[in-house]
Structure 1
């Protein structure tokens, strides 16, 4: 396949609102300021970052209502190619408030509108008609979609000659293991949910991730560890790299930015190690910005050199 396009799949997108408040207290009316609006949802964030880094991408998503149209408009304004599968119901709005008093971040994330079987079938049929080097499915499943939805998406990608990356959680994650995932991105909490136990020691994290690869649950696993960096496990080795220190403004979209940098590096033919460095630089750039995954190529390039080779 000659295409280098990264198609992202978001079945439960959101209009993201990020703001600050002096303090957050129950009952009181909380006045916010410094508002930022972004087209959000896992796959959409990945597509926005890939586009910002100069990669070829298409954001495929399902949306409805006025908020769905706002997401379309925002992507168009940003120059991010997109294709929407219309659904009934109104796309959710997520709210993140950073409290200045404590520095804590409060996130309010609705579950999203209910889908039906026909909605899921139309999304997958649309995916089956797209050409891609990688398909990146990221985010939660909305109510009404079966937990094997991402497993079906993985099989469609494979049939089209594309590689498949997944970043999700809960039942949707467990139903997708071993179903042809080329790259599985996990948080520590998600790894522990699969392992059924705490996995805090670095050597045990590496053993668990590599053990999943060798058991056929995914061909490669990226484990993000927040301030402790990340590791990338294949059947042959485990690479670990520290986080790049930056002044934190927002963690929303940092994991999606990591995934975008990692996939783009692999598409561009970088080594696994250099792809991991690009991923950590993209994540750091997102954390250092306000709003959801707002990065620039220049910021990422400046941060890559700070990541150990």
Structure 2
């Protein structure tokens, strides 16, 4: 069996569709240009980002119905190794539409189909067959999955001595830090919820992240600050990296690209100082492309080179 240093998990992937139109008028038929299709969902996007940096990962994801078949074809077209776990319900779709008249972007997402107990066990059994150095669980949970699902993934990661990176939100994130993982990537609002406060100011982020670390929730907390950049916090270090000023076309997949850049850098044994800079570089580079395309490797390299002096 082929071994992989990195495995990504997407339990609620999406067939991403994006298109352009001119003029949004209520109750009128909106004519869209030919759509673009991309394989989407947290872990799949992370695997795509790793591939753009020259790395390799195994993408594990659920797949159902004709949309799932198309999703698999799109992942294969990216030359990403994958293991699809087939489910009864169709893989969901998401839609991004850009109004060329105003350059406004509209994002439509749908909930994932219900996952049965048997399908949930199939996902966990699949993960348990691998012993990667890094395991990435990213994205939302389908209906039917308990909010503690990522806790079960964390237990598998610990048994295989894998470092688990989790990028999710809400109760799923709150539950997984109860058991403890290697790295989490909340935004400021999500971090505030984790420590039980309504909001956090910038100067409070470091201490809030250290609270999570002190309780064993994570070894590394990376806090996304959106257009301001990101911070990486460990029990004895704090690293702030400003986001470079780029011409933004879409924010779709920017967070996943950031995770992909960091995981790739970790797999290359790069310092944490470089890890967070690769993350910010990839996340920023993703915003330079339209729709759901993520980033170009050359853009990420150029932005990283600029960030090295920051």
Instruction: Output the TM-score relative to the length of structure 1.
Output: 0.95
Q: Matches of 2:31 and 2:252 in 1, distance apart? A: 21
Q: Which residue of 2 aligns with 1:151?
A: 151
Following superposition, the deviation at residue 4 of structure 1 comes to 6.0
- 1:279 corresponds in structure 2 to 279
1:195 and 1:222 map into 2 onto residues whose CA distance is 15
For residue 306 of structure 1, what is the aligned residue in structure 2?
A: 306
SS in 1 for 2:300: helix
- Give the root-mean-square deviation of aligned CA atoms: 1.5
Query: How high is the TM-score relative to the length of structure 2?
Result: 0.94
The more displaced of 121-130 and 191-200 is 191-200
SS in 1 for 2:179: coil
Which residue pairs with 2:225 in the alignment? 225
Question: Does the alignment pair 1:185 with 2:192?
Answer: no
What is the SS of the residue equivalent to 1:305? helix
- Are residues 121 and 4 of structure 1, via their aligned partners in 2, closer, same or farther at CA, if it must alter by over 3 Å? closer
Q: Does 1:203 align with 2:203?
A: yes
The answer as to 2:78 corresponding to 1:74 is no
- Per-residue deviation at 1:304? 0.7
Query: What do residues 7-47 of structure 1 show as CA deviations (whole Å, max 9, x unaligned)?
Result: 00000000001222323333222222363210000000000
CA contact (8 A) 1:23 1:101 kept: yes
Q: How many residues are paired up?
A: 307
| 8 A Cα contact 1:36 1:290, kept in partner | no
Runs of 4+ in structure 1 off by over 4 angstroms are none
8 Å contact kept, 2:286–2:296: no
The equivalent residue for 1:256 is 256
1:200 deviation in Å? 4.4
- Residue 294 of structure 1 aligns to a residue whose secondary structure is coil
Partner of 2:5: 5
Query: Structure 2: where are the runs of 5+ without partners?
Result: none
CA contact (8 A) 1:45 1:292 kept: no
Instruction: State yes or no: 1:106 paired with 2:124.
Output: no
**Quick one: structure 1 residues 293 and 158, their matched pair in 2 at CA, closer, same or farther if it must change by over 3 Å?**
farther
1:198 Cα deviation (Å)?
Answer: 4.1
Identify the range of structure 1 (134-143 vs 18-27) with the bigger mean alpha-carbon deviation.
18-27
Q: Which runs of 5+ in 1 are unaligned?
A: none
* Per-residue deviation, residues 133-168 of structure 1 (Å, max 9, x unmatched): 100000000000111110100110110111101011
2:288 aligned partner:
288
Shift of 1:213: 1.2
8 Å CA contact 2:56, 2:80 repeated in 1: no
In the alignment, does 2:142 pair up with 1:142? yes
Q: Deviations over 1:194-242 (max 9, x none)?
A: 2343434211122211221122111111111111100111111111110
Does the C-alpha gap of structure 1 residues 39 and 147 become closer, same or farther in structure 2, counting only changes over 3 Å? same
Describe the shift of the 1:34–1:237 C-alpha distance in structure 2 as closer, same or farther (beyond 3 A). farther
Distance 2:104 2:200 in 1: 23
1:120–1:198: structure 2 CA closer, same or farther, 3 Å change rule? same
Partner residue in 2 for 1:44: 44
Partners of 2:102 and 2:223 in 1: CA distance? 28
Q: What secondary structure is seen at the aligned counterpart in 2 of 1:221?
A: strand
Aligned CA distance change for structure 1 residues 286 and 34 (closer, same or farther; 3 Å): farther
